[in-house]
Amino acid sequence: MALHITNSLTRKKEPFVPLREGHVGIYVCGPTVYGHAHIGHAKSFISFDVAVRYLRHLGHRVRYVQNITDVGHLTDDTTGMADEGEDKVLKQARREQVEPMELVERYTRSYFEDMDRLNALRPDISPRASGHIPEQIDLIERLIERGLAYTRDGYVYFSIRDFKDYGKLSGRDYEEQEAGARVLVDERKRDPRDFALWKRAEPEHILRWKSPWGVGYPGWHIECSAMSMRYLGETFDIHGGGLEHTFPHHECEIAQSEGATGKPFVRVWMHNNMLTVNGVKMGKSLGNYTTVKDALREVDPQTLRLFFLNSHYRSVLDFSMEAITATGQGMERLRRTVLSLDERARTAADQESHPGFNTLLDQTRRFFTEAMDDDFNTSQAVGELFDLARVVNTYLSAGTLGRKDLEAARKLYSDLGEEVLGLGFQEPGQGVASSGAEDALISFLLDLRGEFRAQKNWAMADRVRDRLAELGYLIEDGPQGARWRRK
């Protein structure tokens, strides 16, 4: 079976065929940078990280674009349809008493810092909405020219009535869409469902740009249409995002893009389901809002990553400390198995390959690939790695494997566990997150010990090792040099 993806647009699991053979363009709606990312964001971004990794593993050249929303997302905009309210960035900038762009910079860095710790690959392009205003203005002008948008008082609205396909992604009919538009006693609009492409900036609105319709700023939806098409073309392969953005955000993206170009916008829409905390939807007002930084103070990043991968991206996942503890124990078992393979391979004899063992590895690769081909079924793929670990441990206890077998098993864990799933087996684990400063200090001491060893100053080298051990750090020498972990 080749890769199949559940396409929200057709509501079917379909074989994935890229528009241009060997190349895949993927756009994922990124964070609005006015606060630290929470663990629900992390679930979403890790789902798409694994999708990108797997597409690359299959040999595709992937261009992965994920935007940074730094303008236009309004506070009242839980539905995305509100055209009033404050800009989230401006409001928070006032609260923190910084320039809006200072705030944006702060939380953009914070976001990447979190994603780096969770071992999510950086997107190839991270375009910012505020850096693509001309593209957004161009797109709006095209929509006006094609009779799909109209201007009123410095505002530009998309005219839903004139775009017949509106609703095709979410499957909402007219009444439901109107209900989604809630508020709206807005006399500027011809139809309550119409949404703003451009808004007039009031004097206190300091994020503002000149446009053919006066000084203003873009609506939230238009940035994703403009930036995705700028970098991936007018029709591209995959668009990802949270399920909660299907309507109206993604519906509006389709209307804007297809309205302007007359071409299909996205071939496959992928939607990630939400994270609940102890069975309850996460929300700032509910007091169960957990940032990635808070979570990583108590949870090892690899464990958190594995926790997300243990469920399917289209399922709701519940975060609880019991579930995390269980995952942490699993991660540790897997890590120990992989490190044992490394350790044994260093001293094992060169002997004929164990025939049964090779078959087992081939089978695991096949089952893993079948799971991933089935709409990125990471929970099953992870299960294959655990099943293999159990058998590997039996072989390790029996001591029947030669170097080649051990290395082949290790390679399987690198290819599938590290490369595709993004799990790090080398990193200090034990369910305790380490700080960057700690990493740097221990690495420095290990370098120092390496130099002592190179000078054959064994006494000093051992002193460093023993002293670290007293402090609770175990040092293990491996082919890639010395590693450490907490006892």
CB of 30 to Zn ion, least distance (A): 8
C-beta of 24 vs 29, nearer to Zn ion: 29
CB of 235 to Zn ion, least distance (A): 17
> Under the criterion CB under 5 A, does residue 129 sit at the interface with Zn ion?
no
CB of 18 to Zn ion, least distance (A): 21
Which residue from 26, 29, 148, 222 is in contact with Zn ion, where contact means CB under 5 A?
29
Binding mask 442-461 for Zn ion (x = CB under 5 A): --------------------
Give the separation between CA 167 and CA 248, rounded to whole angstroms.
Answer: 9
> Under the criterion CB under 5 A, does residue 385 sit at the interface with Zn ion?
no
> Under the criterion CB under 5 A, does residue 93 sit at the interface with Zn ion?
no
> Under the criterion CB under 5 A, does residue 103 sit at the interface with Zn ion?
no
3-state secondary structure 164-209: CCCCCCCCCCHHHHHHHCCCCCCCCCCCCCCEEEEEECCCCCCCCE
Phi/psi at 382 (5° precision): -60, -40
C-beta of 250 vs 312, nearer to Zn ion: 250
**Looking at this protein, which amino acid is placed at residue 269?**
W
> Under the criterion CB under 5 A, does residue 299 sit at the interface with Zn ion?
no
Give the separation between CA 292 and CA 130, rounded to whole angstroms.
Answer: 25
Tokens 């002008």 correspond to what residue? 141
Give the separation between CA 448 and CA 460, rounded to whole angstroms.
Answer: 9
Which H/E stretch holds residue 272?
strand 266-272
CB of 114 to Zn ion, least distance (A): 20
CB of 436 to Zn ion, least distance (A): 31
> Under the criterion CB under 5 A, does residue 266 sit at the interface with Zn ion?
no
> Under the criterion CB under 5 A, does residue 338 sit at the interface with Zn ion?
no
| Per rule CB under 5 A, count of chain residues that contact Zn ion | 2
Residues in Cβ contact with 273 at an 8 Å cutoff, skipping those fewer than 6 apart:
243, 313, 314, 315, 316, 317
Tokens 């303008």 correspond to what residue? 71
Phi/psi at 32 (5° precision): -90, 115
Among the listed ranges 23-31, 266-274, 284-292, 418-426, the one in contact with Zn ion (CB under 5 A) is 23-31
Q: Which of residues 199-258 bind Zn ion (CB under 5 A)?
A: 224
**Looking at this protein, which amino acid is placed at residue 270?**
M
**Alpha-helical segments (H) within 80-167:** 88-96, 100-117, 133-145
C-beta of 130 vs 302, nearer to Zn ion: 130
Please give the radius of gyration of the chain, using alpha carbons only, rounded to the nearest integer: 26
CB 171 within 8 Å of CB 282: no
C-beta of 29 vs 339, nearer to Zn ion: 29
C-beta of 6 vs 67, nearer to Zn ion: 67
C-beta of 255 vs 382, nearer to Zn ion: 255
Judged by the rule CB under 5 A, the positions of this chain that interact with Zn ion are: 29, 224
